[in-house]
Amino acid sequence: MTVTKSASRAPHAVPDTIVREAIRLFGEKSYPVVGMRDLSKAVGVQPGSLYAHISSKEALLMAIVEEGITNYIDAITAATATDDTIEARMRAAIRAHMRVLADTTEQTKVTFGQWHFLGPENKERVIKLRQQYESIFLEIAQEGIASGALRPVPHLKATLLGVIGGLTFAAEWYSPAKSDGPDGIADAICDVLLRGLIADER
């Protein structure tokens, strides 16, 4: 599996092999069950050698989670930075999410499924990242309501969080080999969402 890189964010200089095997092991066994010996065996090095690349197992999980969420933020922000209609931007946001999911399915499972094993300080950082991710959808919807393109709905944030929860959970069932393409699935999800939000009847 290829993990998207960035010089400005985790996993920094951690070799691809360590990141890839950590994602696989955390996904298959869960973070608490995997020890440094398990990881060193999977990578093919002595346990002590891992500490030349990572400071701790939690630091490795945090690097995976932080990069995982940032991948989504970057992709969705870029996809929605247009002058398109609200409907088109919401569709672009959901398509961008599903495309990232299709490329990083296993990392996404760990990112959204195991971040709660982190310590308090790291959890706080992750919560802020998740809020940044969620705010992209919320801001599009709020702009749509303000412009009249979308109708006001009770509990807008709760409604969108329900959709976002479904998007993040999609990693548990999505299979690039078996599922419809990411755009097709995204459009189906978006059609259901917009049916309840579009101001004019269609």
In order of start, what are the domains of the chain with their CATH numbers? 59-197 (1.10.357.10)
- Digit-by-digit pLDDT tens for the chain (202 residues) are 334 433 334 444 578 889 999 999 999 999 999 998 899 899 888 777 788 788 899 999 999 999 999 999 999 999 999 999 999 999 999 999 999 999 999 999 999 999 999 999 999 999 999 999 999 999 999 999 999 988 888 888 998 898 899 999 999 998 877 767 899 999 988 888 887 777 664 4
**Nearby residues of 200 by Cβ (< 8 Å), 6 or more positions away:** none
Q: How far is it, in rounded angstroms, from Cα 137 to Cα 164?
A: 9
- Contact by Cβ (8 Å): 11, 62: no
pLDDT at 196: 72
pTM of the model: 0.85
